[in-house]
Amino acid sequence: MKRECNMRGRIAQLIITIFAGILLLLIVEGLLIIHNTPFSSAEVLASTNPDIITILHEPLRMGQTYTKTKLCGAEAFSEESEDYSADKAIDGLMDTRWSSKFYDPQWISITLCEERTINRVVLHWETAYGKYYQIHVSQDGETWYKVFSTQSGDGGEDVITFDAISARYVRMCGILRGTRWGYSLWEFEVFETGDPPVVPIPFPPVLKGSYPRWFYKELGYWTVAGSPGSERETLFSDDGMVGNPTASAFWGIWGTSPSNVFAVGSGGTILRYTGTAWSAMHSITTSHLYGVWGSSDSNVFAVGDNGTILRYNGRTWSTMNSTTTSHLYGVWGSSDSNVFAVGSGGTILHHNGNTWSTMDSMTMSHLYGVWGNSDSSVFAVGENGTILHYTGTVWSAMDSTTMSHLYGVWGDSDSSVFAVGENGTILHYIGTVWSAMDSMVIGHLYGVWGSSSADVFAVGGDGVILHYTGTWSATVSGTTSYLRGVWGSSPDIFAVGESGTLLHSDGGAWERASFGNGFSLMPYLTVAGKFITWADVATITHSLKDGYLPFPEVEWHYQGLCFSQRVFPYAADVGDSYNYISYTLKNTGTTTISDRLYLTIRPFQVRPPWMYGGLQEITSIEREGDNRFRINGNRWTLDK
């Protein structure tokens, strides 16, 4: 049974002390709320719901049962032969099977006899299995929703559970094979359930140990508060440690060589890679930056929110007068004196080497990407399938054949240009018309780059990286974070995205660089002059608000004191979220106790090193008024 904390009224006193590079927040007998505030506008390229908390661990499903769903048909992208047709995967026999041809990608789609509420799929793989595959569901066979994705399939029997959803069609979309053969299933089973809603359990029981546990290879657990994978994400550990998994999301990347690469992102973040490691640059802005391009390593442009344009001269970044307040999402040029920037509301700017001026785009659609082959051939892409072409004098609209939003564009000539966008859209221009290509993914694609028209990379949601060498195929990125940009200098390829993701491949496997993982907030107590950490507490309990709402709470119980720690998000408007961390220290007894609560900002991560965490340098602590601080550029607000 959960031990309840009985409230006794107290007057709070807040004391703030800074020493030795560590910010120490001190509160006496009261309540402190800290909320991590996003810098400015909502995320542009993808919308998320900030009003939820996602539990990272498989929830406990008390007494749950599954009923096998009746299946009425199956079809596949390919079949090895008539003996291995798609219907063999639903005939109920474990000695017959479906087998695809021996190339990526592939899919097999199952038709239910009627629309049902399903929440479980079981795949019985033959030797030829999927290493990187997804499960999609649909009500009409046209619009598909992803309910599961893995990049580490190992064959055998895969039991896949997901939140209950109404569907008539279910498909396995194979993106990368696990063997040199195709994909092969003995059986593809679908299950439905009518059980009550799942009640998630925030933390399983763990042993107590030293702090932080990963120093001693001990396993810890955490939940995610806010928008998972975004800059608004907060991690809350089972012992009360709170942290931001990333200090930045990265949206743009460009370089002159594999040893001179620039990445830009949230809060004005600019990083530079010199061939061995990424390091932060002084950007002189806190506006989000979405695009970066340069004509040389001493003439680099970065663009972002509210018309922000920065220029790097090889030594320092400076602000330029853009003449607009529109958000700018992409930048490209053919020389120092011919640079284009595109943005919201159809904004197109041109820099002639001295000043920026506005061009007539003939559209009000948001423009997200720009690329050109010369001064007189420039392409811009944007929402609702907008594609514009500049011929040196005017911009004109092109027929894209799609209404999907387009986020990125790149080409190697006027007769071979690629554009990527939402729902896996990839278009190819061959000099006369745009035509759709089969990407075999349904997630959004945000960036595209290539070394030639036969060596092109596209990146997008859930860590998807596609490679085109005549046909599109997926590579294992090793991450599920959204990837926003890609650039390379063959054979070196770089990709950037959410949660501080920085990937690099030199022709082999993708490797993740460690940079930008945020600091953590650690609570401590002093009771009668004794310093108390979580490892000293007699009892630690975990719960959800009202027993079922996904707002996790941790309580320490120590000698008549109840220390409650709770994390929850709040959003006044969609996309404008705050993560609140509530600390309440209460005396549950009748004896007066001398106690204090310390909240310390420390370089330890909630995530351990083997999950891209570990240590994060605290480079700056700035005070803004009585109750606001910036720590590594992130704003924190204190309320009593």
pLDDT digits (tens, 9 = 90+) for 110-156: 999 988 888 889 999 999 999 999 999 988 888 888 889 888 899 99
Q: Rounded CA gap, 540 and 2, in Å?
A: 10
pLDDT band at 633 (very low <50, low <70, confident <90, very high): low
The pLDDT score that the predictor gives to residue 242 is 79
pLDDT band at 540 (very low <50, low <70, confident <90, very high): confident
Question: pLDDT at residue 506 above 70?
Answer: yes
Domains within the chain, CATH numbers bracketed: 13-58+224-245+518-523+539-639 (no CATH), 67-192 (2.60.120.260), 250-512 (2.130.10.10)
Q: Rounded CA gap, 612 and 310, in Å?
A: 30
Return the number of other C-beta atoms located less than 10 Å from residue 66's C-beta.
18
What percentage of the chain carries pLDDT values higher than 90? Answer: 45
- Angle at alpha carbon of residue 434, lines to 430 and 438, rounded to 5°: 100
Among 231, 218, 243, which Cα is nearest to 42's? 231
> In what helix (H) or strand (E) does residue 310 lie, and over which residues does it extend?
strand 309-312
pLDDT band at 40 (very low <50, low <70, confident <90, very high): very low
The pLDDT score that the predictor gives to residue 7 is 37
Between residues 383 and 570, the one the model is more confident about: 383
Question: pLDDT at residue 266 above 80?
Answer: yes
3-state secondary structure of 306: helix
Between residues 555 and 613, the one the model is more confident about: 555
Q: Which residue has the tokens 């059986």?
A: 187
The pLDDT score that the predictor gives to residue 521 is 82
The pLDDT score that the predictor gives to residue 246 is 52
- The arithmetic mean of pLDDT across residues 468-480, rounded, is 90
pLDDT band at 541 (very low <50, low <70, confident <90, very high): confident
Between residues 218 and 411, the one the model is more confident about: 411
pLDDT per residue as tens digits for the range 581-599: 888 888 888 888 777 888 7
Range name among 85-94, 183-192, 618-627 with the lowest pLDDT average: 618-627
Question: Mean pLDDT in the chain?
Answer: 80
Question: pLDDT at residue 560 above 80?
Answer: yes
- The arithmetic mean of pLDDT across residues 4-31, rounded, is 33
3-state secondary structure of 268: helix
Between residues 550 and 330, the one the model is more confident about: 330
Question: pLDDT at residue 456 above 70?
Answer: yes
3-state secondary structure of 300: strand
- The arithmetic mean of pLDDT across residues 594-613, rounded, is 73
pLDDT band at 205 (very low <50, low <70, confident <90, very high): low
The pLDDT score that the predictor gives to residue 571 is 57
Q: Rounded CA gap, 415 and 412, in Å?
A: 8
Residue 581, CA distances (Å) to 34, 95, 401 in order: 5, 55, 48
pLDDT per residue as tens digits for the range 329-372: 999 999 999 999 999 999 999 999 999 999 999 999 999 999 99
Question: pLDDT at residue 54 above 70?
Answer: no
